[in-house]
Structure formats: structure tokens, C-alpha cells
Amino acid sequence: MGSIDARGLRKLFGGVPAVNDLSLSVEEGTFVSLLGPSGCGKTTTLRMLAGLEVPDAGEIRIGDEVMSSAEHRRFVPANDRGLGMVFQSYAIWPHMTVSQNIAYPLKMRRVDKRERADRVEAILHTVGLDGYGDRPSSKLSGGQQQRVALARAMVLNPRVLLLDEPLSNLDAKLRADLRLELRSLQQEVGITTVYVTHDQSEALALSDRIIVMAAGAVQQDGPPEEIYEHPANRFVAAFIGDFSHVDGTIRAVQGTHLEVEVPGNTAQSRVVVASDVRHRVGARVTLAFRPSRAQVVQGAPSGDGVHLGATVRTGVYLGERREYAMEIGKCEVKVYTDRHVRLDDGEQCCLRFADDDLMVFPVDEAPEGGVSGDAAKHSSHLVTA
């Protein structure tokens, strides 16, 4: 069984928690990404799963076996956990051929020569390196080295594959190509995979589930679409994808609806939002949105939805779209439009939002620990005024 269950993990370095009371589960055969900024604890978490760091608290199970338990003083070393690992530096030995690199872990386990050759040939085919077995590793491209590292990690038929930013050393185009290949390979083989990255696009493209981390704790855990469309808090909204916002003050609360005054909004004196989270009159809130979701209306506000009056500061052409910097009161926002939409610097326009395109968070909300997947309900949605 290749499932993972970790409960209450804690790891201190110099008395400072790098990971604090973290729990996660990974179902067998799924691809789960640990996503977050540098220093958030994602690599430390991966190293605890791998057996390269000893947790100060908590328990880790892989399948039905307890791999680590601080309470019961149990710790299974990395080489006895049945895991495959690929790290940011591929650690490909340049003096060996491709086949010799891949066969090395088999040789260390005294697998006979004939079986080694058969398994190396099979895994070379799996990763798309047929015919490369005798090639010197020093002659490989970055993408080919990545495939060799994957093949070496998978040749032992591990229960779980752990990947720590394996594409980060590649150029942007090759990364985009290889992430598609990696996802296809994982689905073909069906291996449980935990992938560490700070790249939001990688996590969205590769994952069955994303676990967003900050300050050593889980901020949100859920499918990519849920994470993107219904972020649990302001940190997740800002970290996943592009993010613009304006700040306002709640002037009235009527059941599940809030009236929010946005300074400098020339289109509507107040906007009305729906929220399933309790707020108080006078509280300051952030109205957040994806730049691609704002619909630009040139001229007077029209149609349903909520409207925010904006002034164009500048714009750039990006091929398939245009990107504009605008001001709403004292807040600067970013807006994406179709490439055919042309706006002049200084032009007054209106940004229109559909019912589910605006999210509401407390101003200056800090990342919180232990936010579960259903905490997405903390993001509120816009309704027609």
C-alpha cells in the first residue's frame, strides 16, 4: 500500500519550529503537491516523510506501517521505507553511463546482473530514454538528466515517489514540457507521489490535490480548482495565481449580506456582498479578485453585478491579452483584458464583476495554521447590489 498518513508533525531547528502540528494524508495512487514560499516548511515535511529528518513530535504511516512515532520512539531509516526520491540536484554520477546510474540502487541491493539489465531496460522505456543506456551521463541535457533521476528513483518499484522541486533547474519551456510528461508518467504507473514546489502553475497542472503551506502549517488542502476558486484565506488567494484587491469598510450587515464602502469607487457608493462568515459593522475588509475576471466597461456602469470605478494608469500588450494597471481610490489593481481592448492612460472606466468573482477577507489577515479544505467557506462571494 502506498498511502501516507501523517499526524501532528513538528520539527524544530535551534528551538524554532520549521513545521508545527502538521497533519496530511495522501491516498494511494494520487499526486499531491506541497506548495508554498521558501521557508514555509514544505521540504522539511518531505524530508520527514522520507526518513531524512526525525520528527520532534507526531506520527507517520505509509500504508499500514508506522514509519515514525515520537511518542513510541520508533523511527524507520530512509533506506527501509520503500520510497523513491528525486531532489533539486539530480545527483547523476557523471563518470557512469545512464544504465549504470539507474542500476546503482539495484546493485546495492545485490539484484543479479540479468534482472538488473531487464529492469533498467524497462524503466528506460517508461521514461522515454530507449537507446540511451550506454550514453555517458555527462553528455545529457538537463531534461534527460531529470528523466534519469526519475528512472533511478522508480527502478526499485517504490511504494511512494517523493519529488523536491525536480524541475527548478530547467528553463521555462522545458519545465512546461516536462511537467506534462511527469503527470502522464505518474498516471501511467499509478505511483503515489508527493511533490514539493513553490511554483503555483506546476502545482495546478500536476496535482490531484494541493496542500498550501505557510509558516510551517497547512493553510488549505484540496483539489486545484477548489484552491484557486475558493481560497481559504488572503494568503492562499494571493499565493495561488494572480491577485488584485481593494480595501473597504463594512457599513451594514443584513443577514448574510454585507454593505461595503470602497473609498474612491465612483461607480457605486456601496457594494453588496454575500458572506457565510460573521462580520461586524465598521470592520475593514479586502475585496479580492483575479485580474482576468474583471470585465472592463467603457463609459457608464451597465448590467448586473457590482461595479468599481477605475482610472487607467498604464497598459502593456502581451500577445494574447493586454495587462493594465489601474487605480480605484488609493488602491492600485491589475486587470487583464482581451488583446482587442484598448484603453488610454488616464481613461475612466468601470470594472464589472459577476456574482462569484469577488472574495472577501479581513484586512491584513495573516496565514493561519491548520486550515482544512472546507475552510474555503471563509471566502465570501459577490452578489448583485
Helix axes 113-126, 142-154, angle to 10 degrees: 130
Q: What mean pLDDT comes out for the span 232-260?
A: 89
How much is the pLDDT for 382?
A: 39
- Express each pLDDT in 269-312 by its tens digit: 787 766 767 788 999 999 999 999 999 998 777 777 788 999 99
- Express each pLDDT in 91-121 by its tens digit: 888 999 999 999 999 998 999 999 999 999 9
Q: Quote the CA–CA distance of 350 and 347 in Å, as a whole number.
A: 10
How much is the pLDDT for 162?
A: 96
Name the average pLDDT for the chain.
89
90, pLDDT greater than 50: yes
Say if strands 209-214 and 31-35 run parallel, antiparallel, or are unpaired: parallel
Given pLDDT bands bounded at 50, 70 and 90, which one contains residue 383? Answer: very low
385, pLDDT greater than 60: no
Q: Quote the CA–CA distance of 3 and 372 in Å, as a whole number.
A: 19
Q: Quote the CA–CA distance of 359 and 31 in Å, as a whole number.
A: 28
Q: How far is CA 302 from CA 246, 267, 331, 347, 384, in A?
A: 21, 10, 23, 17, 12
Q: Quote the CA–CA distance of 247 and 261 in Å, as a whole number.
A: 9
How much is the pLDDT for 259?
A: 86
Q: What is the dihedral of CA 169, 170, 176, 179, to 10 degrees?
A: -60
Q: What is the dihedral of CA 231, 237, 241, 247, to 10 degrees?
A: 140
89, pLDDT greater than 80: no
- Express each pLDDT in 122-161 by its tens digit: 999 988 899 999 999 999 988 888 889 999 999 999 999 9
Q: What mean pLDDT comes out for the span 31-44?
A: 96
- Express each pLDDT in 154-196 by its tens digit: 999 999 999 999 888 778 888 888 888 889 889 988 999 999 9
Q: Which candidate, 93, 105, 88, places its Cα nearest to that of 195? A: 88
Q: Which candidate, 26, 35, 7, 368, places its Cα nearest to that of 224? A: 35
Q: How far is CA 138 from CA 117, 135, 173, in A?
A: 21, 8, 22
How much is the pLDDT for 272?
A: 75
| Percent of the chain predicted with pLDDT > 70 | 94
6 versus 181: the higher-pLDDT residue is 6
Domains (ranges, CATH) in the chain? 4-236 (3.40.50.300), 242-362 (2.40.50.140)
Write down the pTM of the prediction: 0.86
40, pLDDT greater than 80: yes
346 versus 279: the higher-pLDDT residue is 346
| Percent of the chain predicted with pLDDT > 90 | 66
How much is the pLDDT for 92?
A: 86
How much is the pLDDT for 167?
A: 85
